[in-house]
Structure 1
Amino acid sequence: MTKLAIELRGRSRLRATKTFLRQFVDHNGARLGILALTFFFIFAVFPGPLVGPLQTASTATGDFLAPPSHKHLLGTDEVGRDVLNLAVHGARISLTIALIAAVISLIVGTSVGTLAGYYRGRIDNWLMRLTDFFFIVPPFVLALVITPVVLEVIGRGGDILGFRPSLFVIILVIGLTSWGFVARIVRSQTLSLRERTFVDRARVVGSNDLFIMLRHILPNLVPQIAANGALVVANAIYIETALSFLGLGDPLQPSWGTMLYLAQHAGAASAGGWWYLGAPGACVLIVSLSFVLIGNALDDTANPRRRVIP
């Protein structure tokens, strides 16, 4: 390939990227989702300057299950802690778990789907049977079964790679059980891409399979991976919330799911403490919906058949 051809190809890709980003930003769903997530990411990154350090039972200064007021905008919990303080600090835990778990799911799903679609035959058959298991069985059910077993084996003391064992296990379990539909989508796209002319040219010039998958196939999968990645994050938030609500979270590092678990055990619903349940529930709903909106916007932008022409 001549220098001029390489330069023209680079310009074409840059122009296509700019067009894609412009169409994505112009999407109403993307704008709404990005705006909402911006606020929550600010909360997750700077919880201390916004609401102070995480309150504990010993540092709580509010009344027990006090309703929202000018002093406590979202009320207090059963030990007098400010619910707003807990919700803002919970954003860091919930988003960290969801994002890292989503990255793991995307790496596993993309790897399995690319290998299955590229090689086909026996490799495709074995990998798709494995994918079918994770695709059919709900990830939450697998996570619910696996998480307590792993926690019992490794224990809850000490940190693992900077995370407490309970959080580390939840991240791994969610990430390793939620990749099925990603693998299916990537495989279908890879089956189409491997028959394209540019892949045949790469084979003719002697490129090996790994180079072809990384250099020619994977870049063309990025839009689909990004669109489904946003949905994977939303699903990871739901699973983490459900697991923590069932008592598998870490009370020392409360997420939104852990707040719901503590509110349930404190009898907030029967005591009329709607703010204790409503604050983390609203956070989960808004953040999950924002990721879904962004995922749909990416899909609309990347898929010409779904693109709305004004």
Structure 2
Amino acid sequence: MTENIVQYSPRGRARAIKGFLRQFLSHGGAQVGLVCLVFFLIVATMPNMLVGPLQTAINATGDFLVPPSGQHLLGTDEVGRDVLNLVVHGARISLTIALLATVISLVVGTTVGMTSGYFGGWVDTWLMRITDFFFVMPSFVLALVITPVVLEVMGRGGDILGFRPSLFVIIVVIGMTSWSFVARIVRSQTLSLKERTFIDRARVVGSSNFGIMVRHILPNLVPQIAANGALVVAGAIYIETSLSFLGLGDPLQPSWGTLLSLAQRAGAASAGAWWYLGAPGVCALTVSLSFVLIGNALDDTFNPRRRAIP
């Protein structure tokens, strides 16, 4: 990253964006990841148009655990619901939870890392001790401990910001337990950036600490935040799927993890209903892998050292 990133003219910024896209799309992994991700985003945004309303035990259209056929492309579940219908509707829930949790994680991680790196001293010491705790303790373990406790306190009735309490709690818990990696990356970059000449110039002209962090340091951190954010999404999908599989999801708004949990409870593995377990599992794995490929491609594009490695 260079000191003049924030000083690009509109024309220079357009050339920089074109150069970035050319370099980014030259990675085979980026192309595969984007194609898969765009496909699932389209599926998640228009489930009713693609497969109709979410099926329930009341309006199920098939028999119990019927294998894939022309009428039910991914078979049916233990109550006759079309698995394709459930998977398509589950895409919206899984992706929404993962993306919103990632936004929370990036906001917290960026704030902690930038504050720690910029101010240093006792602020840096205390913030990094907290970060180390979350870094050492696996996010899934923390989420597994915190989620049922918060759900017990809040209850499962009503809606919170359009989400049922169980889903809202999962979003917040994943976001609040997955930020430590981002904080460490942002802190290391901030330590380097705050010693640059353009930061000294900003101090000389009377810019406040908050203004320097927001107007001068943060824009230069965007590449690293974007590259690592894609990896955070992949981790969020894994945590959400695991929590829902353990029964902490919401059966009224099923995600891919909830479908895996329902399949396990219905004995799909012993009954040979591979389609019931396989469909949501493959979807979750594919989306996670897509974000990993995109994150690696972004890291290669933004990091000249990695591009120099043959």
Common topology (TM > 0.5): yes
Deviations 1:103-123 (A, max 9, x none): 000000000000000011110
Asked if 1:164 corresponds to 2:184, the answer is no
Q: Distance in 1 between matches of 2:97 and 2:308?
A: 34
CA distance in 1, matches of 2:256, 2:141: 20
Counterpart of 1:29 in structure 2 is: 29
SS at match of 1:247: helix
Q: Distance in 2 between matches of 1:14 and 1:64?
A: 56
Q: CA deviation at 1:21?
A: 2.0
Deviation at 1:9, TM superposition (A): 4.4
Q: Which amino acid aligns with 1:294?
A: I
Deviates more, 1:7-16 or 1:33-42: 7-16
Deviations for 1:107-140, whole angstroms, at most 9, x for unmatched residues?
0000000000001111000000000011000000
For 2:180, the aligned partner's letter is G
Number of matched residues? 305
Looking at structure 1, the residues matched to 242 and 234 of structure 2 have their Cα atoms a distance apart, in angstroms, of 13
1:48 and 1:9 mapped to 2: Cα distance?
44
Question: Which residue of structure 1 aligns with residue 55 of structure 2?
Answer: 55
Q: Which blocks of at least 5 consecutive residues in structure 2 are unaligned?
A: 1-5
List gaps (5 residues or longer) in structure 1: 1-5
After TM superposition, give the deviation of residue 29 of structure 1 in Å.
1.0
The CA deviation string for residues 145-203 of structure 1, in whole angstroms up to 9 with x for no partner, is: 00000000010000001100000000000000000010000000000000001111111
Aligned to 2:302: 302
For each residue in 1:64-91, what CA deviation from the matched residue of structure 2 results, as whole angstroms up to 9, or x when unmatched?
0000011101000000000000000000
Aligned-pair identity in percent equals 78
TM-score by length of structure 2 reads 0.96
Task: Tell me how far apart the structure 1 counterparts of residues 288 and 278 of structure 2 sit (CA, whole Å).
Answer: 15
State whether structure 2 residue 116 is matched by structure 1 residue 89. Answer: no
Instruction: Tell me what 1:67 maps to.
Output: 67
Is the alpha carbon distance of 1:98 and 1:120 closer, same or farther for their aligned partners in structure 2, counting shifts above 3 Å? same
What is the CA-CA distance between 1:25 and the residue it aligns to? 1.9
4+ runs deviating over 2 angstroms: 6-18
Query: Which residue identity does 2:259 align to in structure 1?
Result: M
Distance 2:8 2:263 in 1: 60
> Matched residue of 2:63: which SS?
coil
Structure 1 letter corresponding to 2:170:
I
Q: In the aligned structure 1, how far is the partner of 2:71 from the partner of 2:120?
A: 63
State the match for 1:3 in structure 2: none
Paired AA for residue 168 in structure 1: F
User: For residue 118 of structure 1, what is the amino acid of its counterpart?
Assistant: Y
Separation (CA, whole Å) in 1 of partners of 2:82 and 2:29: 33
Q: Does 1:278 align with 2:278?
A: yes
- In structure 1, what residue type is equivalent to 2:224? Q
Give the CA deviation at 1:253. 0.3
Task: Tell me the TM-score normalised to structure 1 length.
Answer: 0.96
Amino acid at match of 1:94: S
> Which residue in 1 is equivalent to 2:3?
none
**Over the residues paired in the alignment, what is the CA RMSD in angstroms?**
1.4
